[in-house]
Amino acid sequence: MNGQIRHSQMLIDGQMVASESGEWLASDNPANEEIIGYSAAATAADVHKAVAAAERAQPAWAAMDPNARGKLVRQVAQALRARADEVLKLEVQDTGNTITKMKGDVEHAAHAMEFFAGLGTEIKGETIPASSENLHITVREPYGVVGRIVPFNHPIKFAAHAIAAPLMAGNSVVLKPPEQSPLSAEILGEICRDILPRGVVNIVTGNGMPTGDAIVRHPVIKRIAFTGSVPTGMAIQRAAAETGIKAITLELGGKNPLIAFPDMDPDKIAEVAVNAMNFAWSGQSCGSTSRLLVHESLHAAVLKRVVERVAELRLGDPLDPNSQMGPLNSRRHYERVCSMVQSGLNEGATLKHGGKRPLGKQFEKGYWLEPTVFSDVNSKMYIGREEIFGPVLSVFSWRDEAEALAIANSTEYGLTASIWTNDIKTALRMARNVKSGYVWINGASSHFYGTPFGGFKNSGLGREEGLEELLGYTETKSIHMKLA
Ligand code: NAP
């Protein structure tokens, strides 16, 4: 084991361990392709050990007073904050996301844990006057062992968030971080090992196959929550259905519209459109508004300003606080995004900026792609309807509200939408009619804990970031007590 290169172990049954097979997966820095660490490649046998440990630990955890559980979850959040600098440096090198914006991820991770830690006593039942001779009550009980699988774009933020609500509801957890950016999970593992009872949280690293699949198919796991792409979400639903009756929530991809009405200032729209693309993550954010739908009267002015702003973005070392955009996360993902850019060109969209590797010695290695803007995009084009999950913005033009709505609702996705107008009736009509689960009026990107986040259509199933998420980790039991 090289002292410089990290070998990230897994947390199983209260111990940091390598995989049973002894195999490791290399993780590179996407900015320069240098190997920065290895993560344990969990086999199905490792997953079975993790589930067995979680099953043993869960009854005592569920029996704890919810405020006592909340106290421990808060301690995990505090410990994460205490190691924020270490997490941040590692995470930036492992993902390619720029450091200035990534700082928010560690804080967000801790905040999510604290939010759920305070909600323990909200796991309430009801009394129901269903008959006069009985007392009818409901209680909420944990599922047992919850399987959670998270993607590569915000590894620590999603991993920490992923364990908070199931734990507060009295479940134990088996978590799988992303194979491309797995290294920070070891830090979360160490923190959980030091604070939580043994086996309550288990973290298994590895590929979707076999590690993720073994979690989904495990007969003891009856509740699965997945954040990732639509195809993987569908594969998980199939695999789960083959092995049992399982409750599944899915936070999936988006092809989100930002809709600008004619009463808006083109400069303002250009500014928010570039910000809401999340170029600091190379566009790799499920909520990025990757379709900019501009009224024809503003289209030329907005497009011009968007291209100017995008051209000004400073690409560079993600660890440099001055960098505004880094590389894509992995070679495989880079190649996918490049092929989608090519398909845009093949289908007749007009490339207004980017579309290629940036010039300069520092960009010769790594998964760099210039921030890219296409105009003349329509909903029939592949780039107009499929999630790219990269730094590629597609600009559409529309004539009337009906056309704007038709374009907005034309994809199989329905995660977020951002509506820009000062006409309150238009804004609310659009918000009601757009088929998206999370809608901003004169805003974009922000998440507000306490309000449910999740997608319509293929963008998902279930809601997170609020009470609904917490209650989603419980099952309702009805109890009838004869009074006479
Ligand atoms: P992905 O390819 O679907 O992978 C997500 C996770 O699933 C990874 O940990 C992956 O393992 C695992 N996985 C892959 N195949 C599996 C299988 N058959 N069974 C069980 N697990 C399996 O997604 P990604 O490329 O990492 O992330 C990008 C996607 O996530 C985008 O579509 C984005 O929009 C979406 N996303 C959605 C939200 C939201 O809140 N709605 C938030 C963030 C991201 P590996 O480690 O092998 O990849």
Domain count across the chain: 2
Mutate to test the pocket of ligand 1, among 43, 229, 328, 438 (most ligand atoms within 8 A of CB): 229
Identify whether residues 248 and 297 lie together within a single domain: no
Structure confidence at residue 1 as a pLDDT band (50, 70, 90): very low
Q: Which of 114, 179, 186, 251 is catalytic?
A: 251
Alpha helix segments (H runs only) across 32-181: 44-63, 66-82, 84-95, 99-117, 155-168
Q: Cβ-count burial of 220 within 10 angstroms (0-12 exposed, 13-18 middle, 19+ buried)?
A: middle
Count of CB atoms situated within 10 Å of the CB of 267: 12
**Set 91, 114, 186, 286: catalytic member:** 286
Is residue 327 within 8 A of residue 30, CB to CB? The reply is: yes
Task: Please give the C-alpha separations between residue 294 and each of 62, 143, 322, in angstroms, as whole numbers.
Answer: 51, 46, 31
- Please indicate, yes or no, if residue 120 is contained in any of the structural domains: yes
Q: Which two tokens stand for residue 439?
A: 């809608």
Place 484 in a pLDDT band, splitting at 50, 70 and 90: confident
293: number of Cβ within 10 Å: 26
Which of helix, strand or coil describes residue 5? coil
**Domain boundaries, position 58:** 6-252+459-479
What is the arithmetic mean of pLDDT over 310-319? 98
The predicted structure's pLDDT at residue 16: 98
At 59, which CATH number?
3.40.605.10
Strands 134-142 and 474-482: antiparallel
Quick one: tokens of 221? Answer: 């796991």
152 CA to centre of ligand 1 in angstroms: 7
CB 153 within 8 A of CB 281: yes
Predicted confidence (pLDDT) at residue 4 exceeds the cutoff of 90 = no
**Phi, then psi, of 105 in degrees rounded to 5:** -65, -40
Distances (CA, A) of 440 to 274, 410, 421, 447, 457: 16, 19, 11, 10, 18
Coil/strand/helix, residue 71: helix
Same domain, 141 and 270: no
* The pLDDT of residue 210: 97
Minimum CA distance residue for ligand 1 atom 35: 228
Atom of ligand 1 lying closest to residue 455 CA:
41
Task: Mark whether 251 is an active-site residue.
Answer: yes
Biggest CA-to-CA distance, the chain: 84
**454 found inside a domain:** no
What's the whole-number average pLDDT of the chain? 97
Is residue 453 assigned to a domain?
no
Question: Is 77 in contact with 113 (CB distance < 8 Å)?
Answer: yes
pLDDT tens digits for 316-355? 999 999 999 999 999 999 999 999 999 999 999 999 999 9
Nearest CA to ligand 1 atom 37: 252
**pLDDT tens digits for 38-97?**
999 999 999 999 999 999 999 999 999 999 999 999 999 999 999 999 999 999 999 999
User: Do 99 and 84 contact (CB within 8 A), yes or no?
Assistant: no
Q: Ligand 1 mean position to 251 CA, how many Å? A: 9
Are both 273 and 213 inside the same structural domain? no
- pLDDT band of 2, cuts 50, 70, 90: very low
Residue 484 inside a domain? The answer is no
Q: Kindly state whether residue 1 falls inside one of the protein's structural domains.
A: no
Q: Give residue 162's pLDDT.
A: 98
Report the separation in Å between the CA atom of 231 and the middle of ligand 1, taken as the mean of its atom positions: 9
pLDDT at 415 over 90: yes
Ligand 1 center to residue 217 CA distance, Å? 17
Ordered alpha helix ranges (H), 128-183: 155-168
> What is the rounded average pLDDT of the residues 287-296?
98
State mean pLDDT over 108-117. 97
Question: 86 vs 40, 93, 184, CA distance in Å?
Answer: 20, 11, 9
| Residue 36 tokens, joined | 């920065």
- Residue 100: which residues within 8 A CB-CB, separation 6 or more? 280, 321, 323
Residue 183 belongs to a domain: yes
Both 186 and 265 in a single domain? no
Q: How many percent of the chain have pLDDT more than 90? A: 98
- For residues 335-372, one letter each, b for 16 or more C-beta atoms within 10 angstroms of the residue's C-beta and e for the rest, the string is eebbebbeebeebebeebbbbebbeeeebeebbbbbbb
Q: Which residues contact 447 (CB under 8 A, 6 or more apart)?
A: 287, 453, 465
> Is residue 175 within 8 Å of 150, Cβ to Cβ?
yes
| pLDDT at residue 3 is higher than 60 | no
Pocket lined around ligand 1, Cβ cut-off 6 Å: 149-153, 176, 178-179, 207-209, 212-213, 216, 227-229, 232, 235-236, 251-254, 286, 387, 389, 415, 455, 460
What the block records as the tokens of 268 is 């303002």
286 included as an active-site residue: yes
Instruction: Write down the pLDDT at residue 110.
Output: 97
Phi, psi (5° rounding) for residue 435?
-90, 70
On whether both 300 and 354 belong to a single domain, the answer is yes
Helix (H) or strand (E) holding 35: strand 35-40
- List the residue whose alpha carbon is closest to atom 42 of ligand 1: 286
Q: Please tell me whether residues 335 and 247 are part of one structural domain.
A: no
Let me know whether 110 and 238 are in one domain: yes
213 and 172 housed in the same domain:
yes
pLDDT, one tens digit per residue, over 423-436 is: 999 999 999 999 99
Q: Are residues 216 and 69 in the same domain?
A: yes
The answer to whether 21 and 41 are in contact (CB under 8 A) is: yes
Q: How far is the CA of 151 from the centre of ligand 1 (A)?
A: 4
CATH number for the domain that contains residue 361: 3.40.309.10
* Structural contact between residues 250 and 226, judged by C-beta atoms closer than 8 angstroms: yes
pLDDT digits (tens, 9 = 90+) for 124-154: 999 999 999 999 999 999 999 999 999 999 9
Q: Are residues 137 and 169 in the same domain?
A: yes
Determine the distance separating the centroid of ligand 1 and the alpha carbon of 149, expressed in angstroms. Answer: 8
Amino acid letter at 229? S
337 and 243 within one domain? no
Q: Are residues 247 and 383 in the same domain?
A: no
pTM value is 0.97
Q: Which of 183, 285, 286, 388 to mutate to test the pocket of ligand 1 (most atoms within 8 A of CB)?
A: 286
For residue 401, what are the contacts with CB-CB under 8 A and spacing of at least 6?
Answer: 426, 429, 430
